[in-house]
Chains A and B, each alone.
Chain A
Amino acid sequence: MNPSPSPHRLCSPIRVWVIARNTLTQLVRQRAFYFLLVFSLVILLAAMLIQNFTDDASRQLKIMKDMSFFAMSIFCTIFAIVATSNLIPRDVEDRTLYTILAKPVPRLEYLVGKYAGGMLVIFFSLAIMTVLLYLALYARQQALMAEYLVVLNRPLSPEGREDIELILSQLKEAGPSWRLLTAVLAIGLQALVLGALTLFISTFASSGLFTVVVAFVAFFVGYIEPVVLDYWRSSAESISRLGSFVSYLVELVFPNFQTFNLVDGVVSGAALAKGTMAKILSMAMAYVGVYLLAAYFCFAEKEL
């Protein structure tokens, strides 16, 4: 047999992609996408439920959005933590990692590939869920608008006409729009950061359970801490040095997930400035970069 002719590259996107795709295959074949069935049911249920509950047309669409975004957030959060926490420990336990790292694969590539694979599942799931949501919203919006347009063609008092026109303009606003993608993006970014954080924790954690618990704690603290500290700083009469040091330390250690808390605003119709979006996007990328690098530092010298 001849020696391998292909030269070795220090960093190869192909190898990262191979590992990512393999991880994607793994998660797909483990039926991670079955959740999408549940999601479709949630949307269907929401669409059926709301007709019995409220006559307010735009509110019907709001309920659909609320339920769908809730389901998306829950799926992405749980998936980002539970699936990512297991990616590396499982390979170590099964010794699959030995065969991978015995090939000319730098550990950083392995880490990034595994992470990217997990995030690809989230990406595809979010994409499918978004399409489903848009279709459902569009169908409901059109059905409602058709109903009101029929009414509008009847003889109406000026006040009645104004009411119907208002409802129609609200329906137009509340339907599927590009703005909703901001919420999807926010959910996705949050999952990216959470996934990177979980991967980082899993590189030094002693068990999968530990990783999951710590990641969930970090997630909740990361959401609550900015608001609570803000409130505390603005309302407390005097803050001790120790108090301010500890709160500062908490801010340094825990990620600030409020940065990615955009869903409520989007559903309420708020519009995000492009500059703010860019800042949030950069912040998410910085988080991912830092956590992956930290994960690499912990993983680089790990005894296998």
Chain B
Amino acid sequence: MEPAVSIRGLTKVFRVPSLKRQRVVAVRDLSLEVASGEIYGLIGPNGSGKSTTMKVLLGLSRPTRGSTAIFGRDSLSVSSRIDVGFLPENPYFYKFLTGEETLHFYGRLGGLRRKEIRERSGELLALVGLEEARHRRLSGYSKGMLQRIGLAQALIQRPRLVVLDEPTAGVDPAGSRRIRDLILKMRDDGITVILSSHLLEQVQEVCDRVGIIFQGELCREGPMKDLMAIEDQTEILLEKASPELLEKLKTVIREHGDESALLSMGHPRTTLERLFLEETSGKSPDTRE
């Protein structure tokens, strides 16, 4: 089956406006594929190249080398964006429009007819919980409401791929949970999602696969459960285990005598975060060509 997104050997070099004609490599030889229907998490620290990768994928920026494609269509062609919805980080929409007008505007740009837009915007406003605010201008929307109307505009023309750049940045926990639920709903509807976020817990919760990007390079990538698995450790999941049973287990392990040891009992809570920190610490910050 054709991948939803394929990025091959992507390199993006920016010129720094200065007398020395300095250049900065934002993305270096990055390749990845996202299968259709998958939720893919792209994580990395600030300035690691996540947003640049997304911009190149959406044709907002041209690759210096390599190529990106959406459902087999080169990102440089306008037609590649028929099947894409995009929510940029901290999006500002036209504040002079109401919520409904915003959806109408983006719906028309997405090629929908007026009647379709009317139906679809009703659906989406209900989905993102903005029915009450549909006639209010965006200048009066809160941050969370803006994110939700952003999500609605991304979904307006029923795209097969949705790209979300920090969808929960600056949103309160309740709003954040609401957005997470929406993403999960998209998966249920068969939409492919690419998600970049700082909130690793959230990524861990919703993503099927994750790529860790640091200093422009993809340093780790794979299915969430593979990445989370620690090779030299074994997790035993018990149900309704009594304290006596747990005590017995500890004794058995202790008495076994070889190198094996019991490290902890309980849930490995921040494994993704740990992995992330492992991958992104102690590497050279020099990325200049």
Asked if A and B form a direct contact in the complex, defined as CB atoms under 8 angstroms apart, the reply is: yes
19 residue pairs from A and B, CB less than 8 Å apart:
A4-B110, A4-B158, A6-B112, A25-B96, A25-B101, A30-B96, A95-B90, A98-B55, A98-B91, A99-B93, A101-B58, A102-B81, A102-B85, A103-B109, A104-B79, A104-B82, A104-B110, A104-B111, A304-B60
Chain A residues contacting B112 (CB-CB under 8 Å) are 4, 6
Chain A residues contacting B101 (CB-CB under 8 Å) are 25
Residue-by-residue, is A1-21 near B (CB-CB < 8 Å gives 1, otherwise 0)? 111101111101011001100
Report how many residues on chain B are interfacial, defined by Cβ distance under 8 Å.
Answer: 45
Does B190 lie at the interface of the complex (its beta carbon under 8 Å from any beta carbon of A)?
yes
Roughly how many angstroms separate A10 CA and B82 CA in the complex, as a whole number? 12
Q: Is the CB of B78 within 8 A of A102?
A: no
Q: Is the CB of B81 within 8 A of A103?
A: yes
Look across to chain B and name the residue whose beta carbon is closest to the beta carbon of A6.
Answer: B111
Q: Is the CB of B60 within 8 A of A3?
A: no
Partner of B159, one of A4, A22, A25, A106: A4
Does B250 lie at the interface of the complex (its beta carbon under 8 Å from any beta carbon of A)?
no
Report how many residues on chain A are interfacial, defined by Cβ distance under 8 Å.
Answer: 34
Identify the interface centre among A7, A95, A99: most chain B CB within 10 Å of its CB.
Answer: A99
Chain A residues contacting B212 (CB-CB under 8 Å) are none
Identify the B interface with A (CB < 8 A). Answer: 14, 55, 58-62, 78-79, 81-88, 90-94, 96-97, 101, 105-106, 108-113, 150, 153-155, 157-160, 163, 189-191
Chain A residues contacting B14 (CB-CB under 8 Å) are 303
Given A2-B158, A22-B105, A29 and B96 touching (CB < 8 A)?
yes
Roughly how many angstroms separate A301 CA and B84 CA in the complex, as a whole number? 21
Q: Is the CB of B88 within 8 A of A26?
A: no
Does A230 lie at the interface of the complex (its beta carbon under 8 Å from any beta carbon of B)?
no
Q: Is the CB of B191 within 8 A of A1?
A: yes
Distance between B189 CB and nearest chain A CB, rounded to angstroms: 5
Residues of A287-304 contacting chain B, CB below 8 A: 301, 303-304
Partner of A101, one of B59, B83, B150, B191: B59
Does A96 lie at the interface of the complex (its beta carbon under 8 Å from any beta carbon of B)?
yes
